[in-house]
Amino acid sequence: MNDQVSHPLAMEFHRARLGGMRAAIDDLIRHRPPSLLSSPAQLTIRAQLYRGLKSAPIYQIIGRPARYDDLDRLLVAAHTSHAGAGATAERALIELYKIAETYFVQDGHRRVAEARARGQLFLLVRVTECVIDGAPDSPADLYAQLLLEEYRAFEVTTELGQLRPAHRIACTALGSYAELLHQIDTYRADLTAWLGRPIERQLAVAGWYDTLYQPVIAALRRQHVLEHLLGRTETDLYIWVTSRFAQPASAEGPLSAPPEALMRFVADLRCT
């Protein structure tokens, strides 16, 4: 068989194989309780090596259309305008994890889906290669391990487990903990600029958690929407709603409470 025939057939084979892998991961996210998103037995990531810009074959990339696309379909504010939707700008380049010959999307799910729909064969991406110990039973195991590594990095960076031992922050989508870290860094930068002196990270973490994260979570609990979203967490909902509102600049200092428009949006939230 010549190369002109064998190459398309190989592509179709890989697409079919990875289609099954994507389905397994989607099932993991939507149907496995968040408490079970833990490390598979005897599977660890020994090292993460940043490989910089690479050209990745799109048929080797596992990624859903968007990080919280199901929430876009299932949640709506009954009366509040969606004018703030999509206020957070996406990064210019797609971020991927690589394990063996398979890529997992860390950031840029929608851009990967759009490229796939266009029939694009390769993407210019930033790659972090993960070296693992152990033999995973499925791609869902790899996904769960990557998610656990992101959580561990979040805990190490924020020390939130020591500052607020009762916290229940947990995400089900790769790249979500980075979104939280970005919010904390923004809050810290605003606090530093307002006070005119460096602010310890621990102070910024505690302030963000107490004045921004917790009030939004309390408002979301009053709406009871999480009861209808199997496999999702409060933190998933928090990221979804806050991503729809750009943090307003204030001459009076950093936010001491969530923006009023955001809280109105949450108070009006319903499941479709």
DSSP 153-211: HHHHHH-HHHHSTT-----SSTTHHHHHHHHHHHHHHHHHHHHTS---HHHHHHHHIII
Dig out the tokens for 70 from the structure. 């199901």
Contact 74, 271 (CB under 8 A): yes
Low-confidence ranges of the chain (pLDDT < 70): 1-42, 63-67, 77-92, 137, 246-255
The predicted pLDDT at position 231 comes to 84
The predicted pLDDT at position 88 comes to 43
Structure confidence by residue, pLDDT tens digits, 50-106 = 999 999 999 999 866 556 777 878 887 665 544 444 444 445 689 999 998 889 998
The predicted pLDDT at position 44 comes to 80
The predicted pLDDT at position 96 comes to 93
